[in-house]
């Protein structure tokens, strides 16, 4: 079946260190979205990637979509305590654009 695998499950970093979370699919995605959920909160949409090899930046966050459109990553440079939360990727597959297939998320903890 269609699955999106996300690693790592948890990550502890010192403030100022970089952080990366990865998502992988066994089949080609039509697009992939990234969300952030703060502790106790709800997921908030960050970005969508559509094109093969696409790279988008939002301040210290860099999002990449692989050339084969089967993997994606989110990289945070110089983490801050405000980056704490769980980051989810969610992909859509061609022919089933109604549904997002969610990764299980990466929980990021930042030590000040």
Partner 1 sequence: SQTIHQWPATLVQPVGSPLSLECTVEGTSNPNLYWYRQAAGRGLQLLFYSVGIGQISSEVPQNLSASRPQDRQFILSSKKLLLSDSGFYLCAWSVKGSNYGYTFGSGTRLTVV
Question: Where does this chain bind partner 1 (CB under 8 A)?
Answer: 31, 33, 35, 41-48, 50, 86, 88, 92, 97-100, 102-105
Can you tell me whether residue 69 is helix, strand or coil? Answer: coil
Exposure string of 19-55, with b = 16+ CB inside 10 Å and e = fewer, is bebbbbbeeebebbbbbbeeeeeebeebeebeeeebe
3-state secondary structure of 48: strand
State in angstroms the smallest separation of the CB of 78 from partner 1.
Answer: 25
Complex with partner 1: residue 19 or 88, whichever CB lies closer? 88
Nearer to partner 1, 66 or 103 (CB): 103
Supply 99's token pair.
């549904």
In whole angstroms, the minimum distance from the beta carbon of 30 to partner 1 comes to 8
Which pair of structure tokens corresponds to residue 107?
């929980």
Q: Whose Cβ is closer to partner 1: residue 26's or residue 96's?
A: 96
Question: Contact 24/71 with Cβ under 8 angstroms?
Answer: yes
CB of 45 to partner 1, least distance (A): 3
> Nearest distance from residue 92's CB to partner 1, in Å?
7
Cβ proximity to partner 1: between 48 and 77 the closer is 48
């Amino acid at each position: 079946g269609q699955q999106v695998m996300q690693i790592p499950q948890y990550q502890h970093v010192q403030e100022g260190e970089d952080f990366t979370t990865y998502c992988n699919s066994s089949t080609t995605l039509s697009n992939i979205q990234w969300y952030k959920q703060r502790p106790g909160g709800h997921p908030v949409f960050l970005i969508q990637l559509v094109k093969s090899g696409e790279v988008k930046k939002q301040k210290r966050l860099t999002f990449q979509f692989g050339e084969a459109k089967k993997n994606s990553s989110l990289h945070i440079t110089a983490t801050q305590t405000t980056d704490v939360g769980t980051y989810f990727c969610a992909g859509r597959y061609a022919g089933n654009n109604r549904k997002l297939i969610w990764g299980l998320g990466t929980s990021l903890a930042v030590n000040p």
